[in-house]
Amino acid sequence: MGLFQSKKKLEAELEAARRRISELEKARENAAAGPDETALIEALEESQRRRLETAALLAASRAVLEYQDFEKAARAIFDICRDLIGATSGYVALLNSDGSENEVVFLDSGGLPCTVDESLPMPIRGLRGEAYETGRAVYDNDFHNSDWMRFMPDGHVELRNVLFAPLTIKGETVGLLGLANKQEDFMEEDSRLATAFGELVAIALLNDWTFESLERSEQRYRSVTQSANDAIVSADAEGNIVSWNAGATDIFGFTEDEILGRSLTLIMPEEFHSRHEHGMRRFLETREPHIIGETVEMTGSRKDGTSFPIELSLSTWETGEGIFFTGIIRDISERRQAEQSELDIRSKIQSYANQLGVLHDIGLSLNRESDKPRLLKSVLKAAAELTSAGVGVMTLVQSGQTDIISVYYAPWFEERCDIGEQTPTLHRRIEQVVKEGSDSTRIDSEAVFENLPEGHLGLRGLLIGILRDTKGRVRGHFILSDKADGADFTPEDEEIIALLAAQSSVALVSAENLEREHVVAESLQDALLPDPLVRDDLEVGLLYQSSGPVGKIGGDFYDLVELDENRVAIVVGDVCGKGLSAATYTAMIKYMLRAYLGEGMTPGECLTKLNSAVHAQVPIEKFVTLSLAVVDTSRARLSYASAGHPAPLLCVDGNARPLAIQQAVPLGVIDGQRYETGEDSLVRACSITMYTDGLLDARPEGAEPFGEKRVIEALSGRCCDHAQHVANDLIAAAVEYSGDNLKDDIALLVVRLTSKASEI
């Protein structure tokens, strides 16, 4: 498929995908469905975006391969990038010879009036200068209000926002891909995509340089060929040579005296002898030409027996002495080599484009990984697979100590390393030869491999990626060795590893920041989860079950508030989200609710007042579900209200049932929403159970959720037992049902009314 057809198809896919994403976003905004349906819609949205990015990158890679002319390739890649990101204008420019200015390759004003001469150079300053200096994409969403506007020449397109992605070849920034006037703001996702497309433009530029070099080589070759004497050889109808020039001697090695009168088969490889003789007979019998009058490529044989490719132009002529054949023969060995070099270059470009595509996918995966050991293991495996390394080691520098985090062996690599304690010392020796400030290093120095400890692998070449923190300090290395098939690591391998190292460094910093946030959030949430009350009339069981390995850092919470000697408020809620942000909003909500309860408000009045505060102070994506009940042991009454939360379960005479609670939207969704207070008798009641929806949603993969029915079955006959035992057993039942794979956190509160309460 040609690039024009590919671009038309991509434009159709872009439009169809955008419509689908828009439909999914509207469905998610309007959905009254539960979290599972919302998650499915979000997953579909993400799938559409990934499909869109993949199609765009493939189309752009195809442009690199299809166009030998750089400007055409760059324009095609720019158009695809601009349409994908949603910008309306931009350009591609290259650094001039002295490195002081940009020279525009082309400029797209996006249909806006622009009277500035496109050939005018662009000074390297401001954001452009930052992109050149850092080698990373940069953007400004308030450019029209920046000080740089005063440097704009008259007639320049109005710029609202701008993004610049560097074009980098062998570690040097040689130009920029610029985008401007996106309807919405540019984001980090746009920066990442523009970087990927900028890399493809850089490949197209390298491709252009390469083809220019090949073209110059071909021109030199033709000049040499035209100035040299071709082989001109004539033979009679019997196939015996009757004429032989100096050019033939130069090409085949036979002198005229050695070859005259001898068969043409002498300058052909033996496997072609019978074919030649059959062709001669057929022509003499039928006079039907086969290759006569055409230029064909064949194989010739020199005097020393070596074979080589030749180009043959054959003609025939006839005299009274009979039929003769004359061939003009040219040695095309150099041309074949040039063609093979071109194929090799195309293959390398395709391979590099494929690696960049894989690297792009890996980058997306790394940015989503928050577990540091898993992240580093993924980086090592990806690095080894991208470079076909047989063995790899990931090290991490912590407090001056180099520790081995992960070891990778390719499936085809049979050796294993049998040492442990001495390995960090060896790795520190490697660190000493790493290039200062680089993201990758190739090492072939035998000094590195001398005096290896007994049991260590016999290393064959090293390729090292360096992980750095935000201040450029070394945080670790992934060390690769023994490339497949005995090959050496290449400069292209080193470039790929440098890109992966840069991506991994960012991901590592993010993971460590998230770890620190987890610690702060967990400490905050531990402070927010109250201890059980000690009262004669109530017995309390509390439990918080996290769904993941990071600990109690979700938005699920519970609370107990003694209002007076006879009344206790019990609360269970869920702030959408996780981490420090969710824990912070949880603290705010709990203490506002305590304040409203202290003013003597009913549960419904409390939630109505709290809803207004949440709507005003909490982002809409942080909506809150909450269930509030007040136990009055002196009146044996229970008053309650709910905001989009599972109904509390009341156990009467040993049987659990949900309270007939009026369902309402979560807090913060609708300003002015009123919440009603319901009441129920506590006569003959023995306990109240409240929980977050993580309990209901517990499930094994592909099965139905644990659900309210199973919760009631687990409580019935048990709900009057010791409150903490009931809480523990209920959580254990849900965890067991899910296959020890909870999808969401669970906050659970069981309040048992003791005999003291029933006597009152």
pLDDT tens, 696-734?
A: 999 988 889 999 999 998 888 887 788 889 989 998 999
Q: Which residue in 181, 19, 166, 12 sits closest to 86, CA to CA?
A: 181
pLDDT average, residue stretch 56-72:
84
Give yes or no for a contact between 714 and 682, defined as CB atoms under 8 angstroms apart.
Answer: no
pLDDT average, residue stretch 521-533:
57
Give yes or no for a contact between 404 and 423, defined as CB atoms under 8 angstroms apart.
Answer: yes
Distant-in-sequence, close-in-space partners of 271: CB < 8 Å, separation ≥ 6:
none
Q: Select the highest-mean-pLDDT range: 97-111, 267-281, 334-348.
A: 97-111
Distant-in-sequence, close-in-space partners of 62: CB < 8 Å, separation ≥ 6:
3, 6
What gap in Å lies between CA 613 and CA 43, rounded to an integer? 32
All CATH 3.30.450.20 domain ranges in the chain, comma separated: 228-331
* pLDDT confidence of residue 532: 66
pLDDT at 351 over 60: yes
* pLDDT confidence of residue 609: 92
How many CA atoms does the CB half-sphere of 193 hold within 13 Å?
27
Q: What is the largest CA-CA distance in the chain?
A: 140
pLDDT at 361 over 70: no
Strand, helix or coil for residue 43: helix
Give yes or no for a contact between 482 and 463, defined as CB atoms under 8 angstroms apart.
Answer: no
pLDDT tens, 367-419?
A: 666 677 787 788 888 888 888 888 888 888 877 777 787 888 888 887 777 66
CATH level 2 (architecture), domain 529-759: 4-Layer Sandwich (3.60)
pLDDT average, residue stretch 92-109:
87
* pLDDT confidence of residue 278: 80
Q: Which of 49-63, 306-320, 342-356, 484-498 has the lowest mean pLDDT?
A: 342-356
DSSP string of 387-398?
HTEEEEEEEEEE
pLDDT average, residue stretch 33-43:
65
Domain 339-519 adopts which CATH fold? Beta-Lactamase (3.30.450)
The first and second tokens of residue 687, run together, are 């306990």
Q: Which residue in 380, 415, 418 sits closest to 396, CA to CA?
A: 380
CB atoms within 10 A of CB 223: 10
Helix axes 3-30, 70-85, angle to 10 degrees: 10
Give yes or no for a contact between 521 and 529, defined as CB atoms under 8 angstroms apart.
Answer: no
pLDDT average, residue stretch 318-328:
81
Calculate ∠ Cα 474-476-481, nearest 5°: 125
Strand partners, 175: 94, 167
In CATH, what number does 228-331 get?
3.30.450.20
Q: Which residue in 198, 203, 7, 199 sits closest to 90, CA to CA?
A: 198
Distant-in-sequence, close-in-space partners of 741: CB < 8 Å, separation ≥ 6:
700, 701
How many CA atoms does the CB half-sphere of 429 hold within 13 Å?
15
The first and second tokens of residue 333, run together, are 């060995």
The whole-chain average pLDDT of the chain stands at 80
What gap in Å lies between CA 680 and CA 688, rounded to an integer? 11
What gap in Å lies between CA 593 and CA 584, rounded to an integer? 15
What gap in Å lies between CA 614 and CA 673, rounded to an integer? 12
State the residue for tokens 């074009």.
Answer: 167
**129-132 contacts at long range (C-beta below 8 A, 24 or more positions apart):** 130/164, 131/164, 131/165, 131/166, 131/173, 131/176, 132/95, 132/166, 132/173, 132/176
All CATH 3.60.40.10 domain ranges in the chain, comma separated: 529-759
% of the chain with per-residue pLDDT over 70: 78
Q: Which residue in 254, 256, 255, 226 sits closest to 242, CA to CA?
A: 256
All CATH 3.30.450.40 domain ranges in the chain, comma separated: 67-213, 339-519
Helix axes 70-85, 188-227, angle to 10 degrees: 170
pLDDT tens, 428-469?
A: 666 666 666 677 777 765 555 566 666 676 677 788 888 888
* pLDDT confidence of residue 376: 79
Q: Which of 38-47, 111-120, 521-530 has the lowest mean pLDDT?
A: 521-530
What gap in Å lies between CA 577 and CA 556, rounded to an integer? 9
pLDDT at 172 over 60: yes
What gap in Å lies between CA 63 and CA 74, rounded to an integer? 8
pLDDT at 71 over 70: yes
* pLDDT confidence of residue 315: 81
pLDDT tens, 195-250?
A: 999 898 888 888 888 878 767 765 664 454 444 468 888 888 888 888 888 888 88
pLDDT at 526 over 60: no
pLDDT average, residue stretch 148-167:
83
Start-to-end CA distance of the chain, whole Å, equals 85
Q: Which residue has the higher pLDDT, 549 or 330?
A: 330
The phi, psi pair for 94, rounded to 5°, reads -115, 150
Q: Which whole-number Å values give the CA distances from 612 to 29, 59, 645, 670, 671, in the listed order?
A: 21, 50, 18, 8, 6
The alpha carbon dihedral of 427, 431, 433, 434 has a sign of: positive
φ/ψ bin of 511: left (φ > 0), alpha (ψ from -120 to 50), beta (otherwise): alpha
Give yes or no for a contact between 725 and 512, defined as CB atoms under 8 angstroms apart.
Answer: no
The first and second tokens of residue 389, run together, are 């390394």
The first and second tokens of residue 51, run together, are 């499909």
pLDDT tens, 655-693?
A: 899 998 877 899 888 888 999 999 999 988 889 999 999
pLDDT at 571 over 90: yes
pLDDT at 481 over 80: yes
Distant-in-sequence, close-in-space partners of 164: CB < 8 Å, separation ≥ 6:
127, 128, 130, 131, 137, 138, 139, 176, 177, 178, 179
Does the domain at 67-213 match CATH 2.60.40.60? Answer given as no
% of the chain with per-residue pLDDT over 90: 14
